[in-house]
Amino acid sequence: MAFDTPGHDTAAFGTKGPDQNLEPLTIPRRHVGPKDVAIDITYCGVCHTDIHFGHDDWGMTTYPLVPGHEIVGRVTSVGDEVTAHKIGDLVGVGCLVDSCRACPSCAKGDEQYCQNGATQTYGSPDPHLGGTTHGGYSASIVVDEHFVLRVPESLDTKAVAPLLCAGITTYSPLRHWNVKPGQKVGVIGLGGLGHMGVKFAAAMGAEVTMITRSAGKGEDAKALGAHRVLLSSDADAMAAEAGSFDFLLDTIPVGHDINPYLQLLKTDGAMAIVGAIDAIEPVQGFNLIFGRRTVGGSLIGGLPETQEMLDFCAKHDIVCDIEMIGMQDVNEAWKRVQAADVKYRFVIDMASLKGDA
């Protein structure tokens, strides 16, 4: 297979091995093709997935790795056939930069479930340049217009970046399971995902309960819009709420026992898992059969729904709660993410990489 010659080099931060710190790198970006958009990256969020990939936790990383899939920036150039974006537009790129566009999932706008394998923003085989795709810990990127989102100018730009992964990951299941005003919704776990789940569910009109083991996190969730707090470590409180929830959004990032949560669901209630990709502890059939309850999972969202989410955020004035860092601070930030020591997302100011901060 013949690959394109690169269009330009760009400054980036990446890692050369599972035990290495991130360091300055120079990476190639492709020529701007007829349907491509070139973006000067202004902000990029730090997602826990970046760290899993960086450390090769899932055994699928190719090095060097340039992570980052919560990208916001300005369009600097467009191809001849681009119609959706123009130079100067504020735009975003999330977890996907391409897909087959032909399978049933792509035809429905669910590109994240592309049956031929979507191209991830980083770490996927790069069909243009060979090697693997490189993400948003960089000064610029070139992406097909279909995978570039319009970012509403009314929102706080730097706090928009994490919407492209943490935001859509929680918005999509709330929409898929038709969360409605007045429904009782529980958000399990308060981190980068959970804090967005609380904001979205409240904006959709649900009565939102933060379900957490930590009383302190319950108070934080109330500040984000949660109406109530349920301590999962309090067996009496859990029993008192049994059978009362319409929907549960489970954002816990590692495998865990979901049986105590399933008992919180009403008849026909549903629980969506969005955080844990490793093994879930055995589920008691009793907890599903009695009450016709369902358990599902959900992965980010397709391009149409991600645009809908950004527009919903503009209408309801929703962004992420963030802590800004410079590119040189990213190794320390990764350690703090692993220690759950951030409220609730780090965002890298890419001016620090370009030397104009």
Give the footprint of Zn ion on residues 155-174 (CB under 5 A): 165
Distance, CA of 211 to CA of 228 (rounded, Å): 9
Residue type, 17: G
Q: Are 231 and 213 in contact (CB under 8 A)?
A: yes
In the bound state with Zn ion, the residue whose beta carbon lies nearer, of 11 and 103, is: 103
Distance, CA of 27 to CA of 131 (rounded, Å): 11
In the bound state with Zn ion, the residue whose beta carbon lies nearer, of 249 and 265, is: 249
In the bound state with Zn ion, the residue whose beta carbon lies nearer, of 86 and 101, is: 101
Q: Taking the complex as a whole, how short is the minimal distance between the CB of residue 181 and Zn ion, in angstroms?
A: 29
Q: Taking the complex as a whole, how short is the minimal distance between the CB of residue 99 and Zn ion, in angstroms?
A: 5
Give the footprint of Zn ion on residues 214-253 (CB under 5 A): none
Residue 157, SS3 per DSSP: helix
Q: Taking the complex as a whole, how short is the minimal distance between the CB of residue 94 and Zn ion, in angstroms?
A: 8
In order, the DSSP letters of 90-114 are: EEEE-SEEE--S-SHHHHTT-GGG-
Residues 226-238: b if buried by 16+ CB within 10 A, e if exposed: bbebbbbeeeeeb
Q: Taking the complex as a whole, how short is the minimal distance between the CB of residue 276 and Zn ion, in angstroms?
A: 14
Distance, CA of 130 to CA of 98 (rounded, Å): 14
Q: Is the peptide bond before 152 cis (omega within 30 degrees of 0)?
A: no
Instruction: Tell me which stretch binds Zn ion (CB under 5 A): 45-53, 183-191, 197-205, 337-345.
Output: 45-53
Q: Taking the complex as a whole, how short is the minimal distance between the CB of residue 291 and Zn ion, in angstroms?
A: 32
Q: Taking the complex as a whole, how short is the minimal distance between the CB of residue 272 and Zn ion, in angstroms?
A: 17
Element (H, E) at 78: strand 71-78
Q: Does 15 bind Zn ion (CB under 5 A)?
A: no
From 39, 47, 193, 303, residue interacting with Zn ion (rule: CB under 5 A): 47
Alpha helices in 205-258 (DSSP H): 215-224, 235-240
Q: Taking the complex as a whole, how short is the minimal distance between the CB of residue 162 and Zn ion, in angstroms?
A: 8
Q: Taking the complex as a whole, how short is the minimal distance between the CB of residue 128 and Zn ion, in angstroms?
A: 18
In the bound state with Zn ion, the residue whose beta carbon lies nearer, of 95 and 271, is: 95
In the bound state with Zn ion, the residue whose beta carbon lies nearer, of 114 and 198, is: 114
In the bound state with Zn ion, the residue whose beta carbon lies nearer, of 99 and 140, is: 99
In the bound state with Zn ion, the residue whose beta carbon lies nearer, of 165 and 295, is: 165
Q: Taking the complex as a whole, how short is the minimal distance between the CB of residue 274 and Zn ion, in angstroms?
A: 11
Q: Are 347 and 324 in contact (CB under 8 A)?
A: yes
Using CB under 5 A, count the residues that bind Zn ion: 9
Q: Are 161 and 90 in contact (CB under 8 A)?
A: no
Q: Are 119 and 133 in contact (CB under 8 A)?
A: yes
In the bound state with Zn ion, the residue whose beta carbon lies nearer, of 28 and 191, is: 191
Name which of 221, 224, 273, 265 is nearest 247 in CA terms: 265
Element (H, E) at 48: helix 48-54
Give the footprint of Zn ion on residues 257-316 (CB under 5 A): none
- Strand spans (E) along 15-50: 23-30, 36-46
Going by the DSSP 8-state scheme, the letter that residue 33 receives in this structure is -
Residue type, 185: V
Q: φ and ψ at 4, to 5 degrees?
A: -70, 155
Give the footprint of Zn ion on residues 110-129 (CB under 5 A): 114, 116
The site string for Zn ion over 84-113 (x = CB under 5 A, - otherwise) reads: ---------------xx--x--x-------
Q: Taking the complex as a whole, how short is the minimal distance between the CB of residue 103 and Zn ion, in angstroms?
A: 3
From 10, 15, 42, 49, residue interacting with Zn ion (rule: CB under 5 A): 49
How many of the other CB atoms lie within 10 Å of CB of 274?
25
In the bound state with Zn ion, the residue whose beta carbon lies nearer, of 100 and 280, is: 100
In the bound state with Zn ion, the residue whose beta carbon lies nearer, of 10 and 99, is: 99
Q: Which residues bind Zn ion (CB under 5 A)?
A: 47, 49, 99-100, 103, 106, 114, 116, 165
